[in-house]
Structure 1
């Protein structure tokens, strides 16, 4: 019988990077869930650790998507304003 705990990734690096470079509020939620993974795994709650890992990954992914979407919308806005300024001259 294998007594060692299962490996469950905590996605902490991705959570931190998405917080710093993408969307702060969603990234913080991801960090909170990522921080719970190792504690739950140490307590023997493999199912809880897996659930926290999945949530950390989901929130980090949504943070990255939100950050990229906001950058794209900002670029579109800047080009639209530049085009309007050129038309008004």
Structure 2
């Protein structure tokens, strides 16, 4: 058994970022993809602090993008129902 420390791998949320880009909010989705890639790259080189920060930012952008997308869908459906 090796004496090396195990490092925590931060999630990248790349799948969620791609979904948000395609279905919810394009600008926030693209920003989330960039942060997701930064998290993956930081995980690959072992920089857990940078990976954690990029992962947290990607998650926040994805949540905001999803909420904006849902609100936009509700507005569009409401406007269609009124017409």
Considering the TM-score relative to the shorter chain, is it more than 0.5? yes
Bigger Rg over Cα: 1
What root-mean-square deviation, in Å, do the aligned CA atoms of Structure 1 and Structure 2 show? Answer: 1.4
Provide the C-alpha distance between the structure 2 equivalents of 1:42 and 1:78, rounded to a whole number of angstroms.
Answer: 47
Provide the C-alpha distance between the structure 2 equivalents of 1:6 and 1:79, rounded to a whole number of angstroms.
Answer: 49
Provide the C-alpha distance between the structure 1 equivalents of 2:5 and 2:48, rounded to a whole number of angstroms.
Answer: 12
Q: How many residues are paired up?
A: 81
1:33 lines up with 2:35 in the alignment: yes
Structure 2 stretches lacking a partner, 5+ long: none
By how many angstroms is 1:5 displaced?
2.9
1:24 lines up with 2:23 in the alignment: no
Asked whether the 8 Å contact 1:5–1:41 carries over to 2, the reply is no
- The structure 1 segments of at least 4 consecutive aligned residues displaced by more than 6 Å after TM superposition are none
- Counterpart in 2 of 1:61? 63
- Counterpart in 2 of 1:43? 45
Provide the C-alpha distance between the structure 2 equivalents of 1:79 and 1:22, rounded to a whole number of angstroms.
Answer: 21
Alignment TM-score, normalising by the size of structure 2:
0.87
